[in-house]
Structure 1
């Protein structure tokens, strides 16, 4: 397998509702990412989209986007992994380059969630026979996990507030973020209850967006315009599909397994990670991922938020450009926004959001209620 680098990125500003079509959104970021790389063409396009067949009546997304971007004749495949779909597209592009099947691959994600209420479609990431008929949704499943966590570890609701405060603070200076409004702890506590104990500011918003990245072999990276960022590891693991079948629903076993595999492959440990672009679709999920990935002991992930360690000046910054909560979570594109943000951080191009220390980064993406979890690690250089 060949080592792989990212040499091009592109993002569109996340919007509550865009007037652009799926093909316009996706094609624009494909072209912009190739332009950023200084690449005239790609060999393969891997497109992440979860909801287009449900909300826009459109399937065959990858070929649609490749055609609209002028990439006739290339390999073009649509990739899905529920709410981790963008990360799955990234992983497939990584494999295409690492295996030698492609020398230039584009991972693109696009989502228009504003076209119709997405909650019923999102619920299809759960078990259609055992969970959905009971009225379960991704929100209700995360609410159950949060309530169980608070009871087991005797943690008050306000202990989670800084997850939202941090995300909105970081989004203020991200021009691609949906929200540019500061949020304080009291705002979180006063926000309306969506599904007890989850409140509105615990949740990522419904939104539209698109992002893309260009991957090439390390050996070719010097030929391109952008400073390369290395993909140090890509891994995925699954848990029991139905949440109640898991020995401990709060353990997020898929996160633990995928993180462990990624660290082993990269030759890194959690202590080496300078910042973590976490899947903070819900505050409780960010907390559980911190624990499962080895950044905190079980039952203590919330303390990283309370003590300010997750802020940009903290020990382990997370959601450094606003995260899913405040930049937005257009599902098929989310992990590709995060990847582009990681590239900006590692190249010292994150502007007002730039971290003082940014050598190694981690991205984690969650499909469903913790069922499928992908972990990617990145660095400007490979560990010595």
Structure 2
């Protein structure tokens, strides 16, 4: 059975400690229901990482969604897209007729700064937080000449400029490469403007059987993988291989030859190096060309392969559980032609990649790659 994204919605993203998870979820679900023209669903999958136990039932109770199957999933930064994958499968197999996927997170009340490393992992005990993990990848790229510091900064310049046209984004603005490089150092060589902010937010999607209606946004494929063992023998930096493998699954499921066949892409750019590595792992650009593509406008609006027209995690924000569904909402709006000044002209095929990491020895916790199409 073909599955359609009948409706999407999000809250505003940003530091919002005064708004609880119920309020954030209400914004996203209310908009998604209105967009889909529904007032209820048969089941719900909720993605979150740090929300308290019972959060799914708590926020949905406030909206009158009770008595149906409600399942909470945690899959690091890919929690929201994991919820989407499971909701898609429930509709595709006919298990449920109308399903809500919801992602939510309130990071501002959970952490003062970077996410606290997990001390049961060797890397966590050593204090290796996520900025340091990505900084190691960036340092490797600089050392081998696969990217320059200016090319890393160009990703931030591009995505902040994209976010100027996204009223839901946490940050936007016009920066120069020099201004990005001059911002406060967080984890050498990554400066403040190369790191995603602490964010609160929610995002939602209603999935139903496709009707074949003109302009309907359908799911061409949805692929999910967990990380395989990764160590010094790997030829690529951390996170590359899981993205590449999941992308192969998604492209095969969508009947596409390459990621370059899609018109618009939202990727997991929690740090500037993340977008560079991901564009290469997706196959959008050749190995070693991710930085050149960002600096040369290839991945900017108007370029050959527009990446993160929403502003990405760097600028829209990164409330972990909500991020993947916010990416899916952006691609859905793009395929409907509703993105105003950030619209990718003529977009018919879109791809979302969300990657979560942080478990020692593994090349990431999880990765989801989804391909959407406007009929």
Q: Secondary structure at the match of 1:123?
A: coil
* Alignment partner of 1:266 is 2:260: no
The answer for the alignment partner of 1:284 in structure 2 is 273
* Alignment partner of 1:335 is 2:324: yes
The answer for the alignment partner of 2:35 in structure 1 is 36
User: Which whole-Å CA distance do the structure 2 matches of 1:100 and 1:122 have between them?
Assistant: 40
The answer for the alignment partner of 1:50 in structure 2 is 49
Unaligned runs of 5+ in 1: 53-57
Moved more, 145-154 or 241-250: 241-250
Q: Deviations over 1:257-281 (max 9, x none)?
A: 1100111110112221111101010
Q: 1:141 aligns with which of 133, 152, 163?
A: 133
Q: 1:72 aligns with which of 66, 77, 96?
A: 66
The answer for the alignment partner of 1:347 in structure 2 is 336
CA apart distance, 1:250: 5.0
Q: 2:86 aligns with which of 75, 92, 97?
A: 92
CA apart distance, 1:246: 4.4
- In structure 2, relative to structure 1, the CA distance for the partners of 1:379 and 1:317 (3 Å cut) is same
* Alignment partner of 1:191 is 2:180: no
The answer to whether the 8 Å contact 1:84/1:367 transfers is yes
The answer for the alignment partner of 2:154 in structure 1 is 162
CA apart distance, 1:366: 0.7
User: Which whole-Å CA distance do the structure 1 matches of 2:116 and 2:328 have between them?
Assistant: 23
- The 5-angstrom pairing of residues 229-244 of structure 1 reads 229-240=217-228, 244=232
The answer for the alignment partner of 1:112 in structure 2 is 106
Q: Deviations over 1:163-220 (max 9, x none)?
A: 111111111111101113222212111111101011111111001111111100113x
- In structure 2, relative to structure 1, the CA distance for the partners of 1:65 and 1:242 (3 Å cut) is farther
The answer to whether the 8 Å contact 1:33/1:212 transfers is yes
- In structure 2, relative to structure 1, the CA distance for the partners of 1:34 and 1:243 (3 Å cut) is farther
Q: Secondary structure at the match of 1:110?
A: strand
Q: Deviations over 1:215-235 (max 9, x none)?
A: 00113x75xxx9531111110
Unaligned runs of 5+ in 2: none
User: Which whole-Å CA distance do the structure 1 matches of 2:234 and 2:71 have between them?
Assistant: 32
User: Which whole-Å CA distance do the structure 1 matches of 2:143 and 2:327 have between them?
Assistant: 32
- In structure 2, relative to structure 1, the CA distance for the partners of 1:151 and 1:274 (3 Å cut) is same
User: Which whole-Å CA distance do the structure 1 matches of 2:114 and 2:314 have between them?
Assistant: 20
The answer for the alignment partner of 1:55 in structure 2 is none
* Greater helix share, structure number: 1
Q: 2:349 aligns with which of 349, 360, 380?
A: 360
Q: 1:228 aligns with which of 203, 216, 224?
A: 216
Q: 2:245 aligns with which of 225, 235, 257?
A: 257
**What number of residue pairs does the alignment pair up?**
369
CA apart distance, 1:68: 1.6
Question: RMSD in angstroms over aligned alpha carbons?
Answer: 1.9
The answer for the alignment partner of 2:13 in structure 1 is 14
The answer to whether the 8 Å contact 1:229/1:379 transfers is yes
CA apart distance, 1:49: 1.0
Q: Secondary structure at the match of 1:131?
A: helix
User: Which whole-Å CA distance do the structure 2 matches of 1:250 and 1:180 have between them?
Assistant: 28
- In structure 2, relative to structure 1, the CA distance for the partners of 1:104 and 1:275 (3 Å cut) is same
Q: Could you tell me the TM-score, scaled by structure 2's length?
A: 0.93
User: Which whole-Å CA distance do the structure 2 matches of 1:153 and 1:347 have between them?
Assistant: 40
